[in-house]
Amino acid sequence: MSAANGLNGEAPYAKRRTFAIISHPDAGKTTLTEKLLLSGGAIRAAGQVRARGERRRARSDWMKIEQERGISVSSSVMTFERNGIIYNLLDTPGHEDFSEDTYRTLTAVDAAIMVIDAAKGIESQTRKLFEVCRLRDIPIITFVNKIDREGRHALEILDEVQEALALDVSPMTWPVGMGSDFFGVYDWQKKLFYTSDGERGGAFTQTKTVSGLDDPILTGTVFDRIMDELQENVELGAEGYAAFDKDAFLEGHLTPVFFGSALRDYGVEELLDFIAAHAPAPHSQAATGGRTIMPEEDKVTGFVFKVQANMDPKHRDRIAFVRLCSGTFRRGMKLKHVRAGKQIAVSAPIFFFAEEREIADLAYPGDVIGVPNHGQLRVGDTLTEGEEIHVTGLPAFAPEILRRVRLSDTMRVKQMRQGLQDLAEEGLVQIFKPDIGSNWIVGVVGVLQLDVVVDRLKAEYGTEIGFEAVNLSTARWIETDQATLQKMIEAHRMSIANDRDDRPVFLFKNAWEVGYITDKYPDVTFRETREIV
């Protein structure tokens, strides 16, 4: 199957909406994902997202960690079509230890839905992810979830989003009651009322068109009780917050806010309708040499934002997730793998639908294709029809946790190194090869990543390793001329290592040393992040 072509003469990319959901764990991302897929007709029954996850987990040993800890480690892509719009939903792991993966996934989206728990408001992980979106000017749509439970007052939540994130908020819908008084959702601009036809608080089943809040159609016991308050809220909301302004939204200054319940299906269709109408089509992409890749260009370009290795442990295959930036991709195309300086034939590209994968015959900017490979492609790689450019903006972060690798069976050094190299290319860990000594150091941002490394080396490479604490606290990439670098290496040989691309890195013992060395070498830049390519 190929994803839909453009309608009404519009370019196919203009019908793409590529987005992610950001949230703090437990806010309801999985539930909302499931409902979005259901709305799009991509899955047949609720429960599929989890069921699919479970099947995959059963197949894959290393995902035991996911299962045990109830977290989602791996990201994936879900494509579905609704009313002629192709939605590409990129999943992001919620756990903060895997935030690097999430950051990189956010480089591949054009918009994000920020899910907030109505009782908890903005939580730590939401805020961090929001900051990444802001850095990239990604427009954000806010979904205040779980309004069927006791939560905070709608006005309080709006104020919190506005203040905590320094963002204009524009309420698009209002909750009608909450918790035991939950009655539905009111779209005060469209004058639509979403409610259930059964008992109050039931699942969303019907939409009523009303003339306003005083429409007799709304007369009902619960509603009568909360009507005055709602009336007041809606008035306050209309006066106190910004009206929706599309430009401000696209520039990332304003977020439209939808109140809803993923579990009971309130607000889900409205989100999709909003994305179709207002979220941006695929944007331009910055590349090296000051080049800006535009989606309407003829030639294909794309970049790898994620690699998932060993999806099937029996085969050492990897899937590189490539976001297309321009051109029309056709199956079998030969593309230039710019970093390697080689042509690769993309003969079996994959589309990821909710329930299945299919061969991708045609793909357009905004689409994500999976490219199976045996390790040639890694995160940050650019594919083109010959042009020598690299897409920019995919960061690697200075690790905050460093450990020395301890190998139980020294006969397995080769397997261990291969395994670590592979996992580093997937973006799971960073590896540092010290100038002195043969034991590699691994660096991660979150401690859970270490557990995944141990598990996967055992399951996939038959190699048992452990980690030893080292007296190191962080790493910085060194940027300087060759002569200064040599001088530094001679003076601090114990602290110098090379990363997986043989780029020099300074391993620091503590924050004091970072300051001391930075002052001592004013001509050197110590970078906390580096571009991956």
Interface positions with ligand GDP (CB under 6 A): 23, 25-31, 94, 145-146, 148-149, 261-263
Compute the least distance from the CB of residue 120 to ligand GDP, in Å: 11
* Contact indicator for 17, 4 with CB cutoff of 8 Å: no
Nearer to ligand GDP, 142 or 382 (CB): 142
* Contact indicator for 405, 442 with CB cutoff of 8 Å: yes
Compute the least distance from the CB of residue 173 to ligand GDP, in Å: 14
DSSP strand pairing (111-117 vs 140-145): parallel
Compute the least distance from the CB of residue 260 to ligand GDP, in Å: 7
Nearer to ligand GDP, 27 or 401 (CB): 27
What is the b/e burial string over 195-212, where b = at least 16 CB atoms within 10 angstroms of the residue's CB? bbeeebbbebeebeebee
For residue 474, the cross-strand partners are 508
Structure-block tokens of residue 194: 């979403």
27 is in an annotated binding site: yes
- Cα(176)–Cα(196) distance, rounded to whole angstroms? 12
Compute the least distance from the CB of residue 178 to ligand GDP, in Å: 11
- Cα(330)–Cα(351) distance, rounded to whole angstroms? 13
Compute the least distance from the CB of residue 101 to ligand GDP, in Å: 15
DSSP strand pairing (16-23 vs 85-90): parallel
434 is in an annotated binding site: no
What is the side-by-side order of every strand in the sheet holding 16-23?
Answer: 77-82, 85-90, 16-23, 111-117, 140-145, 254-259, 168-171
94 is in an annotated binding site: yes
Compute the least distance from the CB of residue 119 to ligand GDP, in Å: 10
CA angle 151, 103, 295 (to 5 degrees): 110
Amino acid at residue number 488:
M
28 is in an annotated binding site: yes
25 is in an annotated binding site: yes
In the block, which residue shows the tokens 């939903």?
Answer: 89
Taking Cα atoms as reference points, which of 429, 494, 495, 419 lies closest to residue 460? 419
Structure-block tokens of residue 305: 């934002």
By three-state DSSP, how is residue 230 classified?
helix
409 is in an annotated binding site: no
Compute the least distance from the CB of residue 340 to ligand GDP, in Å: 37
Compute the least distance from the CB of residue 99 to ligand GDP, in Å: 15
26 is in an annotated binding site: yes
Nearer to ligand GDP, 30 or 449 (CB): 30
Nearer to ligand GDP, 262 or 505 (CB): 262
- Cα(277)–Cα(246) distance, rounded to whole angstroms? 10
Compute the least distance from the CB of residue 199 to ligand GDP, in Å: 15
Nearer to ligand GDP, 30 or 430 (CB): 30
For residue 352, the cross-strand partners are 357
Nearer to ligand GDP, 43 or 453 (CB): 43
* Contact indicator for 283, 334 with CB cutoff of 8 Å: no
Compute the least distance from the CB of residue 304 to ligand GDP, in Å: 26
93 is in an annotated binding site: yes
Nearer to ligand GDP, 150 or 224 (CB): 150
501 is in an annotated binding site: no
Nearer to ligand GDP, 30 or 74 (CB): 30
Structure-block tokens of residue 317: 């295959």
Compute the least distance from the CB of residue 29 to ligand GDP, in Å: 3
Nearer to ligand GDP, 234 or 262 (CB): 262
CA angle 81, 320, 362 (to 5 degrees): 40
Nearer to ligand GDP, 179 or 372 (CB): 179
Distances (CA, A) of 104 to 321, 379, 396, 445, 528: 11, 9, 9, 14, 16
CA angle 431, 433, 435 (to 5 degrees): 155
Structure-block tokens of residue 277: 């109408």
424 is in an annotated binding site: no
Beta strand extents in 199-288 (DSSP E only): 206-209, 254-259, 285-286
24 is in an annotated binding site: yes
151 is in an annotated binding site: no
Distances (CA, A) of 485 to 62, 292, 529: 40, 33, 19
Nearer to ligand GDP, 92 or 233 (CB): 92
363 is in an annotated binding site: no
**Binding-site entries for GTP:** 23-30, 91-95
**Binding-site entries:** 23-30, 91-95
